[in-house]
Amino acid sequence: MANVVVVGSQWGDEGKGKIVDWLSERADIVVRFQGGHNAGHTLVIDGVTYKLSLLPSGVVREGTLGVIGNGVVIDPWALSGEIEKIAGQGVAISRDNLRIAENATLILPLHRELDAIREAAAGAGKIGTTKRGIGPAYEDKVGRRAIRVMDLQNLKTLKSKIDRILAHHNALRRGLGEAEASRDELFAQLEEIAPKILPYVDTVWSLLDRERRQGKRILFEGAQGALLDIDHGTYPYVTSSNTVAAQAATGCGIGPDAINYVLGITKAYTTRVGEGPFPTELHDEMGQLLGKRGREFGTVTGRARRCGWFDACLVRQTIKVSGITGIALTKLDVLDGIEKLSVGTGYRLDGEELDHLPAAQGAQARVEPVYETLEGWSESTAGARSWADLPANCIKYVKRLEELIETPVAMLSTSPERDDTILMKDPFED
């Protein structure tokens, strides 16, 4: 039985939710392994739309266990609200379908406040954070002063841990001209939310080891995309965690030998939310057309996404960094009816040609894309479920992308509906 990691190969918003849901029908367990509630997955199942942020996509499927790993930073109030919202849509969340790693870090109200204060003060230097406290929570994690899920189990020792984190945060708040956070107020907030979170707590690394040894299929679900990775992304315009496939092991406590296949979710064009470099971005009517057709608005933030042509050079780079085995190409139908399609194949930087995006911030801002033009197609691909349903030029487009990114297309998605999918390679068939 193969275990599969799903990651985004661009800047996120590639359509991971639908693909993860499609795969979760074949999985016994779906694991979130990094990020926080800044990520968003939209699922459309039997005409019902579910919008998830912290909950693993598998929780909406009966008989599938959803797991939130230790690599995730958890806002317990946001999680509780999401559980209530999904319950209102008829999906009951219990210990039968959700477990939370005891050693996951909590996002606190002071993290959200600090995030917003910093972003407002940054002015032109802002990085486009969602202001949900993700970055400050990860800072406290590596600073060894975080409050973790397991700390809610012993309220007698919680106040001393709050004192430790406030020693850092209140110094920051004073320096920023803000009022200090109250220990008693934070304790009361955590004491109130604890009963809503504790029923799901488990020793996740042990759970996954046991289930894997019993032959269960595990699907590891990433958030954001590889280009937002804290090490390998377009720094500093990145998220605060590692988003590449290797984090699947670290973020839930399994060995890398447990991973058999890495599926990179890849949009047939390119989008980005927030600040940062975007070599193939379109600032014209074509960019607006892609955004309108693709309904490019953030699931969590509601922010309009920047749109541009497919950047094969960038995707090839993230495939190598993430060890992607095959890609799932999504939103192919958005390109229907466009006469000429451009694909970025490389860059020029100060007169020199490059086959990768440089790591330096200044260089990333200056690169110019090198394009190849392909013939588009006039026929509709929306809802196609086999190669025979695709126009000839569409097939040529897909095949050319495979050549440029040096990786096969394992799946094609032709609409938000989960069954509108063309399967070339089942990732679970090792």
Residues designated catalytic: 13, 41
* Whole-number Å distance between alpha carbons of 14 and 7: 9
Among 38, 27, 37, CA closest to 5:
27
* Whole-number Å distance between alpha carbons of 373 and 352: 21
Q: Give the sign of the dihedral formed by CA 366, CA 372, CA 378, CA 384.
A: negative
Element (H, E) at 190: helix 183-197
Strand ranges (DSSP E) for 145-278? Answer: 201-202, 218-221, 261-267, 270-272
Q: What are phi and psi of 307, to 5 degrees?
A: -125, 150
Q: In whole angstroms, how far apart are CA 55 and each of 42, 141, 223, 378?
A: 12, 21, 11, 39
Please give the structure tokens belonging to residue 214: 């019993």
Q: d(Cα 111, Cα 106) in Å, to the nearest integer? A: 9
- Which H/E stretch holds residue 6? strand 4-8
Residue 398 CA to residue 393 CA, distance in Å, equals: 9
Buried (b) or exposed (e) across 44-62, using 16+ Cβ within 10 A?
Answer: beeeeebebbbbbbbbbbe
Q: Is 132 helix (H, G, I), strand (E, B) or coil?
A: coil
Q: What is d(CA 61, CA 50) in angstroms, rounded to the nearest whole number? A: 11
227 phi, psi to nearest 5 deg: -75, -5
Mapped onto helix, strand or coil, the DSSP state of residue 370 is strand
